[in-house]
């Protein structure tokens, strides 16, 4: 169960959260999660003015220079480099980016990472930051993730780890890995929830207009986006039509008819173009629609199940567990702040 208690009583030192970034870092892998921790500290102090800040958030460079030139051309002014970082570190997170190949050949940096991993309470990565942890041998024997685009490469380079390309983040012991960009913010919110409770984490999400805190088991993949990537006009037209007719019986035969193909040919073309079967596509499209309804409305689960084409509440539950690994009622209460109906 999420921790609902505050763990930063007066008199204790702030927990130091270090973001380690190499030149060419993806700026959102740093700035988004960094801001989550900063905002959490601000909200905590607003509610507990007599307490000390729960976090000290630091950007450390992998080079001898503190500034980090990101891959979009903006420069982030770091607090330190890994060489002169002083004091205890609670959480160490490695940001993704294009400069990690060079960083992974720096034996001094790798040795420092291995030593740091023995001292910190939590260690993790955002997007391709997992490659640096892998180079240091810190993912061996772990179940991990990264951006789906780089998952196969990570699996080939780190054969002692189990790489799962689907979840947005994974915790294995004290090791946390996430997909890219906004998934790093989801991971940061999960860490804040561990430390300061679900209520404060939810307020951080709302104040930053992250109206939903996604569970780590949620898939990186969107059914709608998968089909939008198809070059075939018929497939895109089927996607658009299906999205507007979720309450209907969306069989392969019916979808094939809309595409002007035989069911067998349509199923084969659809799988080739989108890497997902028509049945799985329809299920994920319905789950995405139901998820939005859970986030944005107070509608009863039975109505959402009917409107989104599930037919029954039990069918809705089965699909949510299969796709998002969480029941719809729990999803609503845990990730939107609305009580189950």
Give the catalytic positions in this structure: 127
How far apart (Å, rounded) are the C-alpha atoms in residues 176 and 169? 7
Residues 6+ apart with CB under 8 A from 3: 193, 194, 195, 196, 197, 198
Output the CA angle 146-147-150, nearest 5 degrees: 90
Output the CA angle 106-109-111, nearest 5 degrees: 110
Output the CA angle 178-180-183, nearest 5 degrees: 60
- Residues 37/17, Cβ–Cβ less than 8 Å: yes
Residues 6+ apart with CB under 8 A from 264: none
Nearest to 5 by CA among 38, 39, 35, 44: 44
């Amino acid at each position: 169960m999420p921790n609902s208690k505050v763990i930063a009583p007066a008199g204790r030192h702030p927990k130091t959260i270090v973001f380690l970034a190499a030149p060419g870092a993806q700026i959102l892998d740093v700035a988004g999660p960094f801001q989550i921790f900063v905002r959490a500290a601000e909200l905590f102090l607003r509610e507990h003015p007599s307490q000390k800040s729960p976090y000290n958030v630091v950007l450390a460079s992998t080079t001898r220079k503190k500034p980090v030139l990101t891959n979009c051309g903006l420069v982030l002014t770091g607090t330190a480099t890994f060489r002169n970082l002083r004091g205890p570190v609670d959480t160490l997170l490695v940001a993704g980016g294009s400069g990690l190949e060079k960083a992974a050949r720096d034996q001094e940096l790798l040795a420092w990472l291995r030593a740091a991993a023995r001292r910190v309470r939590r260690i993790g990565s955002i997007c391709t930051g997992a490659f640096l942890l892998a180079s240091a041998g810190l993912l061996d024997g772990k179940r991990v993730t990264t951006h789906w685009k780089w998952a196969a490469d990570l699996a080939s380079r780190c054969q002692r780890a189990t790489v799962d390309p689907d979840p947005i983040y994974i915790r294995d012991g004290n090791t946390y890995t996430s997909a890219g960009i906004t998934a790093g913010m989801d991971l940061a919110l999960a860490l804040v929830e561990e430390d300061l409770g679900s209520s404060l984490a939810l307020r951080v999400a709302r104040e930053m207009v992250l109206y939903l805190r996604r569970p780590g088991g949620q898939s990186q993949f969107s059914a709608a986006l998968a089909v939008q990537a198809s070059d075939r006009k018929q497939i895109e037209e089927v996607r658009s039509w299906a999205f507007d007719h979720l309450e209907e019986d969306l069989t392969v035969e019916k979808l094939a008819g809309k595409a002007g193909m035989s069911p067998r040919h349509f199923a084969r073309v659809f799988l080739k173009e989108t890497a997902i079967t028509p049945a799985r596509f329809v299920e994920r499209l319905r789950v995405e629609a139901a998820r939005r309804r859970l986030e944005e409305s107070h509608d009863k689960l039975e109505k959402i199940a009917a409107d989104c084409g599930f037919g029954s509440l039990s069918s809705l539950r089965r699909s949510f567990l299969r796709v998002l690994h969480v029941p719809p009622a729990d999803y609503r209460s845990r990730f939107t702040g609305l009580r189950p109906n």
